[in-house]
Amino acid sequence: MKEGFFWGNSVSSMQTEGGWNEDGKSLSVYDIIEPAEHRSDWHTANDNYHHYEEDMDLMQDLGMNMYRFQVSWSRCVKDGTGAFNEAGFAYYDRFIDALIQRGITPMICLYHFDMPLALAEEENGFLSRKTTDAFLRFAYEVIDRFHHKVHWWITFNEQNLYCQPRTAFRISGYTRGEKTTEELYRIAANVMYAHCAVCNYIHAHTDGKIGGMLAYSEVYPHTCHPKDILAASAWDEFINTDLLDTFAFGRRSPMVEHFIHTHDIDTGLSEEDMQVIHEHTEDFLSFSYYASNTISAEKIPDGAPVNDWLNHGALNNPYIKATEWNWQIDPDGFRDVLNKMYRRYRMPVFPIENGIGVQEEWDGIHPIDDEYRIEYHRDHIAAMKKAVEEDGVEVLGYLGWGLIDILSSQGDMRKRYGVVYVNRTNHDLRDMKRVPKKSYAWLKQVIHSNGEIL
């Protein structure tokens, strides 16, 4: 890969940090979730709050030169709207310094689903403009405090999840209501306005770089039937292209705009808000990629909004294998996504999440033999290299997800993504020992050779 290519690791605060009630942190929606058979509470995670230097030493040894992490809103602002918590900001100040001392470039994510509990309960999360304004107050403060050390930013993790009903009402702090299509579009609009306002703030006040991020799951027609092809095309337009058009051009997809107009949907945005969106600029486009799907038109009920089609029409692809969680492994889809984003928008693209989640148990003696993880990352990195070397795509870097084991997005410690094992289970914290797996030595070789040795 080219000189200056970023190799690194991505995480969220609630899946990693722990320290849920320490040093003035107020509650987020995750802090009150009860444990279940296959779900931990979120109080300890992998205890990165107390182990971050150890984890950074491992990343440095691997050769990583970027770490994408989240600054927790609840750790830094009392109940999301109150006084700034100096102890919380001091923690991230030390954290950032520790990265820089190890030659690791920090990338900050400002929101990764963990809404301050008070704003969820009082304002219904991002359905309310008051929440949006409170987020911007927090975001601007983080930028003001850290922009002289941090030059890479994203606002919202996987922003297209806010236009999908199954996820939007869960990750936006929404706690009550009918979950209507208009509410869905209002949440997505508030999040987009906030994203664009942050972009404008960073470009006006810093020399930093910022890019929008989406969860890009390649979705193929299940068959060559024209209705399946149209369904896949419409899904891509509503879930991916609409967001990317707004990131790159400051305007929505005409197909989505037409849907909003013909269904008389009020997104709640003013003319001034729209001007913020139209005028904003971005420096790169970033995305997560794990798997692909297929969609069958005959499975989609009449009248279902496109935003919900995959929940009805998803079917397994018979040509590719899947993980034990039924995530279908598709490195060729990864290459295609890189190409589609770059060809259409001519902006640098940055895959900042990629990985495979597997149930693993350490025997206390031998490194875990995770050849399947080596194969997954090898195939995806090889596909990325083809996109760069054969297709001409400008790719900024490759960040794996949770490469030191963390809680899954559902709070399940059984689903492990790391090249480093963290010795805990869902209900037994054990000693939190960090133990490199077989894939650790392989990834170290890849990074130290800048992707030449796979």
C-alpha to C-alpha distance for 311 and 167, rounded to whole angstroms: 11
Q: What b/e sequence results for 175-212 when a residue is b if at least 16 CB atoms lie within 10 Å of its CB, and e otherwise? A: beeeeebebbbbbbbbbbbbbbbbbbbbbeebebbbbb
Helix ranges restricted to H, 32-164: 48-62, 73-76, 86-101, 117-123, 129-146
Active-site entry in 17, 123, 282, 353: 353
C-alpha to C-alpha distance for 202 and 143, rounded to whole angstroms: 7
- Crossing angle (nearest 10°) for helices 438-448 and 48-62: 60
Active-site entry in 123, 158, 183, 218: 158
Residue pair 197/132 in contact (Cβ under 8 Å)? The answer is no
E strands of 123-228, at which residues? Answer: 152-156, 209-215, 218-221
Residue pair 387/338 in contact (Cβ under 8 Å)? The answer is yes
Enclosing H/E stretch for 67: strand 66-70
Is 53 one of the catalytic residues?
no
Is 158 one of the catalytic residues?
yes
Q: What is the DSSP letter of 210?
A: E
Enclosing H/E stretch for 251: none
SS3 4: coil
C-alpha to C-alpha distance for 369 and 353, rounded to whole angstroms: 22
Return the active site residues: 158, 353
